[in-house]
Structure 1
C-alpha cells in the first residue's frame, strides 16, 4: 500500500459545496466567498478544504434547473456559476475563463499561506451527456471529439448512463470490465490505442489542476467503478509531479484493492452505516445493538488493510442526511463525531455541521425534497460551534489522536466504547458514551497495561480534556486498577495520561 503523506494523517477535512457557500438570492456562492471564509474555517479547527465540483455542468438531460455538480461538461474549465463577477454577460468566454482561473488560483494560494490544503472532486466514472468530448467541434487542445470513449446502443442517440437513475450522465468506458458495475461486460476496447488515449486524457485532467493551480489532492467519486489499472497509472503520474498529492476514494467496494492501487485513504462507510442504528436505522428495537460491535469493525479494518491504513471518517456529507437529523438531537450527534474524530484516520465534516444545520443542500432543485438552494447559517448554534472548535483543536494538538496506535478496553456498559490512543509516551483514554435514555450511566473497566507501566515509578493521573472535571488518580507500582465511573447522559471523556 502507498505511504500516506504525514500532512494528510494530521488533516481535518472541511467539505464545501460551492453553490451554497455564500449563496444569495439571484446567485450561487463563489470562489471568492470561499476564500473570504478561510479565516473562519481555520479558526474552527479545519486545516484542509475539499471543494465539490467547480466545473461547468451539462445541459442535456439536466436534473432540475441547475443540474447536478456531478454531471460535468468540461473537466478542465471553471463554471461561470462559481466566478464572482457582476458583469459576466459583458465578458467574452475567454475573459470569463481567465477570471475564474485567477480567482481559483487566489483561493489556493490564500489557503496555502494559512498552512491549509485544498482538495478537489474528481468525477472519473461518468460525465454529462454533452461533455465537450462528445462535441464534434471540440478542438484537440480541449480534448477533441471522442465518441469511442463511451458505450453506445445502436438505437440510442446518447451513450449509456452508468445506471438508470443517473440519466443526467453517461458512462466513461475505460476499456476494462469492472465486476459488479452495470454494463461491466461491455467495458472493453477492441483497439488498445483507444484505451491508451482515454487514460492519457483522464490522467491529464488530474495533472492539470495540480500543475496549474497547485492543489493538494482529490476526493475521487465512485472510485470502485473505475478500473484499478487506471488508478495505478494515473496516481503514480500525479505523485511523480507532486509527491505529497493525496487521493481518497468514495468507494463502497474493493477498498483494499484501491488502497493497493495507490489511494491514500477510502471512505469509512461501514462504521458510518453502523452508527445509523443509534437512531435512524434502529435494529431489533435496540438503539445500542451495534455499539459493542464498533470494536469488531475497527479490528476487521486493521486486519484487512494493515496497521498503517487510513480512512476518512465522517458523520455526514452531501450524500447523507445531516447528523443532527440522523441522531435526533444536537447532543446525540456529538458521540458519533467524537468517534470519527478520535479513531485512527482522517475526520471530515460537512460545511454547516458545526452550526447544527438540519437542511441537506440539494444537488439540484427537488433533490432530497428541497426545491431551492439556501445559504448556510454558520452562526445558528454558537454553543455547538464552540464545542466543535474545542474538539477539533484537541485533534490538531494531540499527537496520539493522529497516529495509528489503538487499543480497545472492555467496558462493563454496552452503551459505551473505550479505547486507548497512544503516540510514544503520550496517551489518553477515549470514552464514547452513546447512552441517551437515562439520567446517568455507571461503567467499570480495567486500566490498560500501557497506563499502569507509565505510572510505575511515580504514579500519575488521567485528566479529562473535554469538560475538565474528571480526574482519575493512579498509584505507583500498581499491578491492576479497576475504574468505576458514573457519567451523565451522553457525557464522553478524553482522559489524558499525566505523570506525577
Structure 2
C-alpha cells in the first residue's frame, strides 16, 4: 500500500524534538489554489549571512562591522541578517550584558553597538555594496522593564495571580506580549513600520513567529508591503500555514535534525531527499525554506558534523531549493559557541582555509548555476550504501551531485544510464583534491562532495 503525503509527513515529523515545528499535517491550506507570497527577486540563488554585532568584531560595534562588509561581499554574500540591535532589559538580565532577545525599547539602539546614525551608516555601506539588510524582530516577548509597558501595562500577559507571564519557564529574562489586546498589535506593527521607513531595511527575521497569532502577521505584512513591495519575511518557526500570506521563508528544523541523525548513523542519507520532497509537496509553491548546519541557537557546525565531515552536508543544503544560512564565523570553521549574554569576539585570524574555500565555491556556484537552487531532483543511483547520495538537478542546465557522508572510501558501479551522463560532464566543485569518477567506476573518498555539470 502506497503511503499518502500526510502519512509520509507524519512519519518523519515524529522524529523531530525541536519545539518550533508544527507537528501536525496542515489541512487548512489548499495547495492547488494557494501559492503563497513570491520571494523578492534578490533572494534567488543567494545565501543569508547571520551577524551577531556583539561578537562579529573585537569592538562589537556597527562601525567596526561596517568595515568587514567588503570581506562578506568577497565571500559572495548578498544578504545580511542582524540579530536584535535594540537596548537590552536590566531586570532579570542573564549574564553581564544580557540577551539581545530581551528588548527594553524598540525605538532605540543598543548603546554598546553604537547609535542610530552609526546604524544608518552601516545600512548605507551595505547598500553601496549591493548587500541587503534584514533585522531581527522579537514580536512575542519583551524585557520585564520594557519602556512602553510602563505606560500601558496591558501590553503584557499576566497569569491568574497578576504576575507577568511567559510560555517558557526558563526564559526568565522576558515576559510575553498580549495579542488579545488590540493596542499590542498596533504597537508592534508601528515599530516595524518605523524601522522599515526610517532605515530603508529590506526585511525582517521574526523570532519564534509561531508563538504570535498568524492573523497579526498577515495583517502587518500586508501593511509593510505597501511601503516596500520587495520586503523579505523570514519566520523562525516551521509550519506551512505561515506561508499562506505572510512569510516567504521559515526554518527547516526537521532537515537539520535528520542530517544529524544521518551523521550519527541513525538514518540512511536518502531520508534527506525524501524529506525535501515531502516538504515541497506540503508547503505552498513559493515557500523558500531556510536550511542550515548551525545558527545562534545551535552548536557550531564543525562540532556537530566534524571539521572533516561537514562538506557533504553543506553541499546538500547548497544544492537544495530555498535559502542556505551561514552564521558568522561558520565559514572559517569556528568551533566556539558565541554566548548570548557576554562578549566573545570571533577570532578571525584563526581560519580554516580549506573549509573557507568550500564555502566560497558553493556560494558562487549557487549564484551562477540555476540548477543548484531548483526543486527538480532525480535520484541517479539507488544503491545499498546508506550514507551515499547521487542525484541530478535540472535548471537551465543540469548538475549531478555526489555525496559521501561516511568516514570511509566507497566504490560504486555507475550503471549504463549514469555512465552515459558522465560522458557529458565536467567538474564544477570538489571538496577534496582527489577525483576518481569515470564512466566505469565511481570512487568517493571519505566525506567527499562533488558536483559535475554539463
TM-score range with shorter-chain normalisation?
Answer: 0.7 to 0.9
Task: Quote the offset at 1:155 in angstroms.
Answer: 4.0
Find the counterpart in structure 2 of residue 347 from structure 1. Answer: 324
Question: Is 1:47 paired with 2:78?
Answer: yes
The 5-angstrom pairing of residues 28-177 of structure 1 reads 29-83=60-114, 100-135=115-150, 145-153=151-159, 155-156=161-162, 158-175=163-180
> Given the alignment, which residue of 195, 199, 214 partners 2:200?
214
Q: Deviations over 1:415-456 (max 9, x none)?
A: 1122222223x11111222121x23443536647xx97xx8x
**CA separation in 2, counterparts of 1:409 and 1:260?**
33
Verify the 8 A CA contact 1:441 1:489 in the aligned structure 2: no
Find the counterpart in structure 2 of residue 21 from structure 1. Answer: 56
**CA separation in 2, counterparts of 1:489 and 1:434?**
7
Verify the 8 A CA contact 1:124 1:220 in the aligned structure 2: yes
The answer for unaligned runs of 5 or more in structure 1 is 84-99, 136-144, 176-193, 366-371, 474-481
**CA separation in 1, counterparts of 2:62 and 2:321?**
32
> Given the alignment, which residue of 431, 448, 451 partners 1:491?
448
Verify the 8 A CA contact 1:316 1:349 in the aligned structure 2: yes
> Given the alignment, which residue of 455, 464, 467 partners 2:427?
464
Greater shift after overlay, 303-312 or 227-236?
303-312
Q: Deviations over 1:293-349 (max 9, x none)?
A: 11211111011014443101110000000011001x312011111111111111111
**CA separation in 2, counterparts of 1:111 and 1:447?**
47
> Secondary structure of the equivalent of 2:359?
helix
Verify the 8 A CA contact 1:435 1:441 in the aligned structure 2: no
**CA separation in 2, counterparts of 1:446 and 1:427?**
18
**CA separation in 2, counterparts of 1:210 and 1:10?**
24
**CA separation in 1, counterparts of 2:111 and 2:350?**
28
Verify the 8 A CA contact 1:150 1:170 in the aligned structure 2: yes
Task: Quote the offset at 1:105 in angstroms.
Answer: 1.1
**CA separation in 2, counterparts of 1:418 and 1:440?**
13
**CA separation in 1, counterparts of 2:51 and 2:365?**
22
Alignment coverage as a number of residue pairs: 416
> Given the alignment, which residue of 409, 414, 417 partners 2:389?
417
Verify the 8 A CA contact 1:274 1:290 in the aligned structure 2: no
- Judged with a 3 Å threshold, the aligned counterparts in structure 2 of structure 1 residues 318 and 206 are, in CA distance, closer, same or farther, namely same
- Judged with a 3 Å threshold, the aligned counterparts in structure 2 of structure 1 residues 264 and 446 are, in CA distance, closer, same or farther, namely farther
TM-score w.r.t. length of structure 2: 0.86
Find the counterpart in structure 2 of residue 88 from structure 1. Answer: none
Verify the 8 A CA contact 2:149 2:156 in the aligned structure 1: no
Task: Quote the offset at 1:3 in angstroms.
Answer: 1.3
The 5-angstrom pairing of residues 257-268 of structure 1 reads 257-268=241-252
Question: Is 1:270 paired with 2:248?
Answer: no
> Secondary structure of the equivalent of 2:403?
strand
- The structure showing larger relative contact order (alpha-carbon pairs under 8 Å, at least 6 residues apart) is 2
Verify the 8 A CA contact 1:428 1:495 in the aligned structure 2: yes
Find the counterpart in structure 2 of residue 228 from structure 1. Answer: 214
Verify the 8 A CA contact 1:316 1:323 in the aligned structure 2: yes
**CA separation in 1, counterparts of 2:52 and 2:451?**
32
> Given the alignment, which residue of 408, 412, 423 partners 1:442?
412
Find the counterpart in structure 2 of residue 198 from structure 1. Answer: 184
**CA separation in 1, counterparts of 2:164 and 2:232?**
32
TM-score w.r.t. length of structure 1: 0.79
> Given the alignment, which residue of 254, 272, 275 partners 1:297?
275
**CA separation in 2, counterparts of 1:381 and 1:166?**
35
> Secondary structure of the equivalent of 2:107?
coil
Verify the 8 A CA contact 1:463 1:470 in the aligned structure 2: no
Verify the 8 A CA contact 1:409 1:445 in the aligned structure 2: no
Question: Is 1:326 paired with 2:304?
Answer: yes
Find the counterpart in structure 1 of residue 371 from structure 2. Answer: 400
**CA separation in 2, counterparts of 1:421 and 1:149?**
49
**CA separation in 1, counterparts of 2:299 and 2:172?**
23
Task: Quote the offset at 1:161 in angstroms.
Answer: 2.0
> Secondary structure of the equivalent of 1:428?
strand
**CA separation in 2, counterparts of 1:49 and 1:446?**
45
**CA separation in 2, counterparts of 1:130 and 1:397?**
48
**CA separation in 1, counterparts of 2:77 and 2:366?**
10
> Secondary structure of the equivalent of 1:392?
helix
Task: Quote the offset at 1:116 in angstroms.
Answer: 1.0
Task: Quote the offset at 1:460 in angstroms.
Answer: 5.7
- Judged with a 3 Å threshold, the aligned counterparts in structure 2 of structure 1 residues 445 and 170 are, in CA distance, closer, same or farther, namely farther
- Judged with a 3 Å threshold, the aligned counterparts in structure 2 of structure 1 residues 218 and 173 are, in CA distance, closer, same or farther, namely same
Verify the 8 A CA contact 1:352 1:378 in the aligned structure 2: no
The answer for unaligned runs of 5 or more in structure 2 is 1-35
**CA separation in 1, counterparts of 2:297 and 2:74?**
26
Verify the 8 A CA contact 2:311 2:358 in the aligned structure 1: no
